[in-house]
Amino acid sequence: MALDSLGIAVIPPSIVTAESADGRLVDLDIFPKLPDLQFVADWLGTPDRRTLEEVVEIAFLAVEATVDRSDEPSGNDGRGINGRGINGPVHS
């Protein structure tokens, strides 16, 4: 679609070297500020619930490691209302 002038595309440079070399595709040097995303995790109170809670915690830690929170007011550690990175009550 990008080659047909129908929009932009995210393409690994290594697979469009010819198109970049002849000018049909160009790199855009932009860094837009995207809005924050909110994720929700929910699970049933089943025997394997603890495993799901751990998966949620691992996912949170992975995201938290990549988020720049330098523009947030001090005192907010970004870990959610219960300090575990889950915004809402933890179901026991």
pTM of this prediction?
0.37
Better-predicted residue by pLDDT, 73 or 34: 34
Segment 52-92, tens digit of pLDDT: 888 888 988 888 888 766 665 554 454 444 444 444 444 44
Using alpha carbons, select from 30, 36, 44, 92 the residue that is nearest to residue 64. Answer: 36
Q: Is the pLDDT of residue 22 over 90?
A: yes
Backbone angles phi, psi at 13, to 5 degrees: -55, -30
Half-sphere exposure of 21 (CA within 13 A, CB side): 5
Q: How far is CA 37 from CA 34, 53, 59, 63, 67, in A?
A: 9, 20, 14, 11, 11
